[in-house]
A and B are shown apart, each in its own frame.
Chain A
């Protein structure tokens, strides 16, 4: 597949559990973004990688959220001790480079439900 792939598509976690969400960007894309989209809202920025370097993590809502991209390709967003307010769709996007006229290609997201 040529697109951004995210797994799992759906995740149900009990409150307090840890979860890990995976993103496979388009091959060769330098920039990778994570966004959080609550129901009925637009996506909100979480963090940004350029290759393996995390250049901006200002949108991570708490220290329970952690993201990595160790080899500059696949990225994992980890949420520790999940809370109900973490329920949302987590979107990953990649682009060839970080410029805005290099289109962001979004995956279809992971829908996380915390019960």
Chain B
């Protein structure tokens, strides 16, 4: 079993839908949780960063962490065609100078 599990999809939704993306993990030492967005043939870009449990909201994006269930989520409200990309969860046990463990990524397609 990999340390981080993420359903690769693909996930197809109509414009305006609410999208829910999820990851589960096995390492209880993980404390730092991130979501990256990766467009085709581009590098990942950081969308959301969360420390420990709780929610964080940034515009149309909300990140949730439930450490008791070892489960993290990213919600996208009012999805747009420009949100079509691969979404990668990433996490780490330590803050500084350490490797992130990434999920496989979920490919999202938003149709207009």
Contact with A97, one of B8, B34, B96 (Cβ below 8 angstroms) = B96
Q: Are B96 and A100 in contact (CB under 8 A)?
A: yes
Q: A45 near B: Cβ within 8 Å? A: yes
Q: How far is the CB of A15 from chain B (nearest CB, A)?
A: 24
Contacts A42-B104, A100-B32; A33 near B99 (Cβ below 8 A): yes
Query: Could you mark each residue 74-96 of chain B with 1 if its beta carbon is under 8 Å from any beta carbon of chain A, else 0?
Result: 00000000000000101010011
Q: Are B92 and A43 in contact (CB under 8 A)?
A: no
Among B34, B90, B92, B99, the one with the most A-chain Cβ atoms within 10 Å of its Cβ is B99
Q: Are B102 and A40 in contact (CB under 8 A)?
A: no
| Chain A residue contacts of B4, Cβ below 8 A | 42
Bound-state Cα–Cα, A82 to B58, Å: 43
Q: A41 near B: Cβ within 8 Å? A: yes
Contacts A4-B43, A42-B88; A100 near B49 (Cβ below 8 A): yes
Classify the secondary structure of A's interface with B.
Answer: loop
Bound-state Cα–Cα, A93 to B42, Å: 12
Within 8 A of B (CB), among A53-104: 55-56, 58-59, 91, 93, 97-101, 103-104
Query: Could you mark each residue 29-52 of chain B with 1 if its beta carbon is under 8 Å from any beta carbon of chain A, else 0?
Result: 000101000000111111001010
Q: How far is the CB of B9 from chain A (nearest CB, A)?
A: 11
Q: Are B46 and A104 in contact (CB under 8 A)?
A: yes
Q: Are B102 and A42 in contact (CB under 8 A)?
A: yes
| Chain B residue contacts of A45, Cβ below 8 A | 99-101
Contact with B99, one of A4, A50, A59 (Cβ below 8 angstroms) = A59
| Chain A residue contacts of B102, Cβ below 8 A | 42-44
Nearest to A55 among chain B residues (CB) is: B97
| Chain B residue contacts of A91, Cβ below 8 A | 43-44
A→B interface (CB under 8 Å): 4, 31, 33, 40-45, 48, 50, 55-56, 58-59, 91, 93, 97-101, 103-104, 106-109
B→A interface (CB under 8 Å): 4, 6, 8, 32, 34, 41-46, 49, 51, 88, 90, 92, 95-105
Can you list 9 residue pairs at the A/B interface with Cβ under 8 Å?
A42-B4, A45-B100, A45-B101, A50-B97, A91-B43, A93-B43, A100-B98, A106-B43, A108-B42
